[in-house]
Amino acid sequence: MGEYTKEDLINFEAEHETFVGIDSDGCVFDTMEVKQKRHFHPLIIKMWELEKIESQLREVAEFINLYSCHRGTNRFPALLKTWEFLKDHPGVANSEVELPPTESLRAYCESGLPLGNPTLESEVERTNDPELKKVLEWSLAVNKDIDENMRDIPPFKWACKAMEKIQGRSDVIVVSQTPEEALVKEWDLHGIDKYVEVIAGQELGTKSEHLSMAIDDHYQKNNTLMIGDAPGDMRAAESVGAWFYPINPGQEEDSWKRFCQEDYDKFLAGDFDESYQQQLNEKYEALLPSTPPWLEQK
């Protein structure tokens, strides 16, 4: 399993007239809930000793990472949002639990650096900041826990059928904010890495940057498509002028089946237009609210 670099994206050569970018977690693999609930969130509770507000932490973290318009956010901004949302949670305000400081984490998230363990390690070495040290320790522990203890989850059946259909007709890359090592391992394990030319993880930049580097001037605007389950996938597609095909949370197999049987052909035929994009977006966005339930209840 080789490593991918930014040069693989910058020097990406178009072999077909059309291009498809595909997200991984929650899109091709039904791994979002398992990773968050069994690995990310328990380690937040453990590392910051938040057992007293475990139920509130889980409610906030699940809303941000799974059930809201923030779904699919990179782990570091998602952690920052977790601390911010917890401040306004009624169950936390009365708990006398002191939440962690966020100044250094915020500065890192807003630094413009590719958000991942390599750059965070460099920042920790540069600053010796205890706040960032704790975040790095948590992030490394999450990766280790997932690598050693997460059960194997196969890709969605219709996602595989769709990629079989796409292969040989469009150029395809993985566009993800998951660490590359985990991505390559997962795609290789299930034998689906053969369907894509590049597997781009968080180390190569944001999803928008992945798409921008790969697409460059190789394709006409209407011939590029991003498939994903998170609002960040939609924004990445919009940033480069690509169409967005949503894999609706909770309706993943149905979304992939429709894509495989109808919408990929629509895309190839040039019939994927603004009106149809709006229809898809409205159905998708209705599934992911922006206001958390504990604030709606006020």
Other residues' Cβ atoms within 10 Å of the Cβ of residue 209? 18
CA distance 172 to 169: 9
Q: Are 20 and 163 in contact (CB under 8 A)?
A: no
pLDDT digits (tens, 9 = 90+) for 77-125: 999 999 999 998 988 988 889 999 999 999 999 999 988 899 999 999 9
pLDDT digits (tens, 9 = 90+) for 28-63: 999 989 999 999 999 999 999 999 999 999 999 999
Beta bridge partners of 25: 29
pLDDT at site 1: 40
Whole-prediction pTM value? 0.86
Look at residues 91, 27, 24 and name the one whose alpha carbon lies nearest to residue 55: 91
CATH architecture for segment(s) 6-30+154-285: 3-Layer(aba) Sandwich (3.40)
Beta bridge partners of 198: 173
pLDDT at site 202: 85
Domain with CATH 3.40.50.1000 in the chain: 6-30+154-285
Query: E strands along the chain, which residues?
Result: 19-22, 171-175, 198-200, 224-228, 243-246
pLDDT digits (tens, 9 = 90+) for 219-230: 988 999 999 999
pLDDT digits (tens, 9 = 90+) for 152-208: 899 999 999 999 999 999 999 999 988 898 899 999 999 999 999 999 998 898 899
Look at residues 65, 90, 98, 82 and name the one whose alpha carbon lies nearest to residue 229: 65
CA distance 262 to 281: 17
Q: Are 219 and 225 in contact (CB under 8 A)?
A: no
How is residue 242 written in tokens? 């690509």
